[in-house]
Amino acid sequence: MIEELHDKKVKFLEEKANEIRQLIIDMLLEAGSGHSAGPLGMADIFSAFYFHILRHDPQNPDWPDRDRLILSNGHICPVRYAAMALAGYFPVEELKTLRKINTRLQGHPHRTTLPGVETSSGPLGEGISQAIGIAYAGILDKKDYHVYCITSDGEHQEGNTWEAYMWLGKNPLPNLTIIIDRNYIQIDGVTEDVMPLEPLKQKLEAFGLHVLEVDGHNIRAFVDAVRTARSEWRRTSVIIAYTIPGKGVSFMEKKFEWHGKPPNKEEAKKALDELRTLGGKITSEHQ
C-alpha cells in the first residue's frame, strides 16, 4: 500500500530530487560523457520511487518480496544511480566512477554488476517485454510485489514496444505499471518531427490499456497517479508523465541537443548554481 503524501514529505521528496539533479551534473562532468536532459527531467519521479513508492530494502537488494523497477531507457541511468546512492545502495562517492573502466556504474545499467538493478538495458524498446516476464512470474509464484517499467517516449518508435502492448491487451497484468517519460525529445530532434507518436494516449487505449496522464514534476500528482494505477485490477496501467528535459537547468531545458551531451566545467558550474537557488541539500563540490 502506497501512503498518501503529506506536505512535509512532499517537501522532502522535492529536496531529494534537487539533490539528485546536482549529483547528476557532478557525475556527468567527471565522466566527460553521458546523457544530461533525460536524467534531469526524471529526477522528481525517481525521488518519488526510491523514497516513497517502492517497497525495497537497500541493505537487502535481492529481497524476494521487493517491488521491481525496470529501466527500459537505460541511457538515463545517472538519475537511477544518484537515487540509489542517496537511498543507501552504495556510497555516494562511487557516483564519480560513472562510465569509467571496471566501474559498477556503466553507461547503461548492468544487472549482475550493481545490486538493486533488475535488468541490463541498452537497446531501446525491450524493457516492457522484460517487465511483462517479471510481472507474469510474480503472478505464477503468487507474489504480491509490483513491477514498474520506466520507458522513454522515443523508444515508442520501436516495434517491440507495441508487440508488448498487444500482448498486454490480451493478457492484462494488474501488477505492472508502465511509466512513459513524455519529454518530446530524442537524440536527433523532437519526437513529433522524427517520427510522430501522437495521439499517444488514444493509441495506448486502443490496445486495451488503462492510461493516465500526469505532470511528471508534480510529485504529489505523480504519486496519486501511481496509487490510481495500483487500484486498477482489470487492466495494465500506463502513466504518461509529461516532463521537461534538462529540468532545473535553464540552458538545457527543452533542448534536444542535451539528450546525449554532458556539461563542461563552466556549464556544470552554471547548472549547479541554478540548482542551488532552487533549494535542497548541496552535495556538489562545486560551491
In a domain, 286, yes or no: no
In a domain, 284, yes or no: no
How far CA 235 is from CA of 27, 41, 231, 278, in Å, comes to 39, 28, 10, 39
DSSP string, 140-174: HTT----EEEEEESGGGGSHHHHHHHHHHHHS--T
Q: 10-residue block means of pLDDT along the chain (287 residues)?
A: 93 98 98 98 98 98 97 98 98 98 96 95 93 98 98 97 97 98 97 97 98 98 98 97 98 97 98 88 39
Residue 234 neighbours by CB under 8 Å, 6+ apart: 172, 174, 210
Q: What is the pLDDT of residue 58?
A: 98
Q: What is the pLDDT of residue 281?
A: 47
Q: What is the pLDDT of residue 284?
A: 39
CATH of the domain at 114: 3.40.50.970
Q: Which residues of 147-170 are buried (b: 16+ CB within 10 A; e: fewer)?
A: bbbbbbbbbbbbeebbebbebbee
Number of folded domains in the chain?
1
In a domain, 255, yes or no: yes
Q: What is the pLDDT of residue 147?
A: 98
In a domain, 283, yes or no: no
In a domain, 204, yes or no: yes
In a domain, 1, yes or no: no
Q: What is the pLDDT of residue 282?
A: 44
In a domain, 200, yes or no: yes
In a domain, 58, yes or no: yes
How far CA 145 is from CA of 104, 127, 138, 175, in Å, comes to 26, 18, 7, 7
Structural domain boundaries, residue 223: 7-277
Reduced to 3 states (helix: H, G, I; strand: E, B; else coil), residue 201 is helix
Closest alpha carbon to 230 in 58, 70, 62, 53? 53
Q: Order across the sheet with 237-242: list the strands.
A: 68-71, 147-152, 176-182, 237-242, 210-215
- Determine the Cα–Cα distance for residues 45 and 14; give it in Å rounded to an integer: 10
Which residue shows C-alpha cell 565522466? 31
- Determine the Cα–Cα distance for residues 273 and 265; give it in Å rounded to an integer: 12
Q: What is the pLDDT of residue 278?
A: 84
DSSP string, 84-139: HHHHTSS-GGGGGGTT-TT-SS-SS--TTTSTT--S---STT-HHHHHHHHHHHHH
